[in-house]
Amino acid sequence: MVSLRRPHSRPHAKVCLAVVLLVALIPTASAAQDPGIDELGLTAEARGQLSEQGFVVVPGERSGDFPEAYASLADRGLPVFITTDSVLRVTDLLIDRTLRTIEEVYLYGRLQQLSREMIRLLEDDYLRSTNSMVKDAARRDLAFFGVGLSLLDEDYFPHESVRGLVERELELIEAADRLVISPIMGRTPLDQVVGPGEDYTRYVPTGHYAASERLGRYYRALTWYSRMAFALPERPVEDYTLTVQALLVIRALEREAGEWFELWERIAYPLTFYYGGAGDPTVADYMEMADEVFGRKFERDAAASESLLIVFVGRVSEMAPTHVQTHELRGMRFLPRDFPPATNYFGLLAGSEDRPLPTSLDIMSLLGSTAARSLLDENDVFDDSVYRRSYESIERGLEPLTYGDWTRDLYWSWLYCLSALSHPPAGGAPGFVASPAWGFKELSTGGAAWASIRYQAADAALSGRPPRGPSVAAGVPVLVEPYPALYSRLRELLENLRDRLWEHYLLDDTIDDHISELIDFLSLLEQASNGILVDGSPGPQGEALSDYARILGRLAGHEATRRVGELGCVLVSDVAYEDLDTGRILQNAVGTPDIIYVVADLGQGETVYAGAVHSFFEMELTDRDELATVGWPTVLRSCPVSRPYWVERFVVE
């Protein structure tokens, strides 16, 4: 049996699991060399840029991830530059691995049990109700949970009254190739606005969910429960069926001393922390408002009272804008859906077809990046009054956010971490940080990290096996990119994650060890950064960072390498935003790492350090047909591919 334990502070960790990238860092026996610029094998242009601004980025080998990139540098015996890119990547992968572990070990079973209990309770409503509207709603609810349980348990056999509905829905989910009205949920208020029904292409497992049949089944069930909305009717009210369905669901959860609502909380709340809140009314919101309108423990047939339904729908509508206003179905979803805050921001900033879609520049500018803001100014985007007003409105909304607001969930916490890249470190930072081009390098770092956190990586699960990998050679010079605020915020993010997992009975020994070790490593990076900024000390050397190899061995999986082999040089790729009014799509991708060289003098003469950084790509497509034919997985097979124009300020192709 896996033991669960409360998070605790650890005096000095082995720092075993800390960086998914820098590990293979430096091989073994030979100490690092200190090559001059002329010995790095760079082009004349790259050498000139390195001499002039103190750093240069050149394309990597276009195979593998950060571990492979650092291993390649280690083979060359180069002093090591620990980049913010690599630290963000390892944290991102740990977050994803932790999610995968709790989904496989805990959430799958909990969701399967809850689905089974909901079917039992709603079958009772279906058989006993004498009201035709309630009976029909209970039947549809039976089918709703029958789909979820069928996806999670292939041996489940749906009730004969809903078998046809469930089988038709399962066929659409399995095909995952069309946009059509759901047989169970029926027509929605948006069918005449953005197209009829549900987009079943969303049910194709991606990222780590494609790694196994079990995870694929879980992904489809989770997608079903989080995408299907018990949508509010638009006035004039014509059909209350979906609202009655929602009322029967929350009534079932409150029965039997609320045992099943507690189980729902142990599924939904961890997912909300990972996915963020979409602004939809939750099961808990509906439960509270139903208690006020219908009374606690209301009888099943009371859900069909038209007068009470009108009051209830009005109450919910106060917290949920109209469907047409948002182009989103508003109403209760059984589980939270993935809806990052940038989606709303893009919707406000998109404006008209006269200007390009917003990109990562807009997000990073809102997070305080002066480099991003300068590029927006160069493009005269603020000349558009709609854009300017929307941008200023978002800025005003961000200004009063407290620390608690920024750390409410992982998405907001990640944005809070990325905002630390917007401000160059003060104090005795190495000269390359003061280069005008450095802000654009950090802009690329932030854009890639912003894209990466939204997509699950196709990597192996956390392993309890003994860590493997080369150790860092003694005496190897190591330079940490000195952003102590970033490392501090990432550490706090992981501490918050660990606390949330413990609260919901999801923190076992293995997860706790992995998170705690990375926390310890981030503390080490923070201390090293402060040392560089305060007195110019070089920070940890190879001896202090020798656990890189074991860290990398824990996080880096062979599956990630295979995935890169399948997709050329792309690591993650997806739609960042789709403008439903114009059909335009912003597609972004994070490719295999580039190599960065920096020159720094930390008291022992100028030294050239080498590390790995993200490669980042963005493009605007005109519609989904173009997405299917010119998507990043296709384009990036033929690397190199055009990058955002501003990357040319620090990358030499």
282-319 per-position pLDDT tens digit: 899 999 999 999 998 889 999 999 899 999 988 888 87
| DSSP E strand boundaries for 219-300 | 229-231
User: Is 315 within the bounds of a domain?
Assistant: yes
**For position 289, what pLDDT does the model report?**
94
**For position 577, what pLDDT does the model report?**
78
Q: Which residues of 349-376 are buried (b: 16+ CB within 10 A; e: fewer)?
A: bbbeeebebbbbbbbbbbbebebbbbbb
Region 387-398 average pLDDT: 91
pLDDT tens-digit readout, 517-568: 889 889 988 988 998 888 777 665 554 455 554 555 455 443 333 343 344 5
Cβ-proximal residues to 592 (8 Å cutoff; 6+ apart), any chain: 60, 61, 62, 63, 64, 65, 69, 564, 569, 570, 571, 615
Number of domains in the chain: 1
User: Is 141 within the bounds of a domain?
Assistant: yes
User: Is 495 within the bounds of a domain?
Assistant: no
Q: How many residues does the chain have?
A: 653
41, 42, 56, 651 from 45: Cα distances, Å: 12, 8, 10, 10
Q: At what angle do helices 66-75 and 84-102 cross, to 10 degrees?
A: 140
Cβ-proximal residues to 548 (8 Å cutoff; 6+ apart), any chain: 18, 19, 22, 23, 24, 25, 469, 471, 472
**For position 515, what pLDDT does the model report?**
92
Q: Which amino acid appears at position 240 of this protein?
A: Y
- Dist CA 375 CA 536 (whole Å): 32
610 pLDDT higher than 60: yes
**Cβ atoms < 10 Å from Cβ of 530:** 19
pTM over 0.75: yes
600 pLDDT higher than 50: yes
Confidence band for 572, pLDDT divided at 50, 70 and 90: low
User: Is 617 within the bounds of a domain?
Assistant: no
User: Is 169 within the bounds of a domain?
Assistant: yes
User: Is 486 within the bounds of a domain?
Assistant: no
User: Is 70 within the bounds of a domain?
Assistant: no
320, 498, 511 from 95: Cα distances, Å: 31, 10, 10
Ranking 51-55, 90-94, 405-409, 489-493 by mean pLDDT, the lowest is 90-94
634 pLDDT higher than 70: no
502 pLDDT higher than 90: yes
Region 86-103 average pLDDT: 90
Domain that holds residue 182: 104-342
- Dist CA 514 CA 465 (whole Å): 12
> Which residue in 17, 2, 29, 8 sits closest to 470, CA to CA?
29
The alpha-helical segments, DSSP class H, found in 473-547 are 484-503, 509-535
Map residue 455 onto helix, strand or coil. Answer: coil
Region 428-438 average pLDDT: 88
Ranking 9-18, 199-208, 338-347 by mean pLDDT, the lowest is 9-18
Residue pair 614/495 in contact (Cβ under 8 Å)? The answer is no
Residue pair 366/394 in contact (Cβ under 8 Å)? The answer is yes
61, 586, 652 from 632: Cα distances, Å: 18, 11, 22
Region 143-161 average pLDDT: 95
**For position 473, what pLDDT does the model report?**
54
**Cβ atoms < 10 Å from Cβ of 316:** 21
> Is residue 233 reached through a cis peptide bond, with omega within 30 degrees of 0 on the bond before it?
no
User: Is 180 within the bounds of a domain?
Assistant: yes
232 pLDDT higher than 70: yes
- Dist CA 83 CA 389 (whole Å): 36
**Cβ atoms < 10 Å from Cβ of 41:** 10
Question: Taking all residues of the chain, what is their mean pLDDT, rounded to a whole number?
Answer: 81
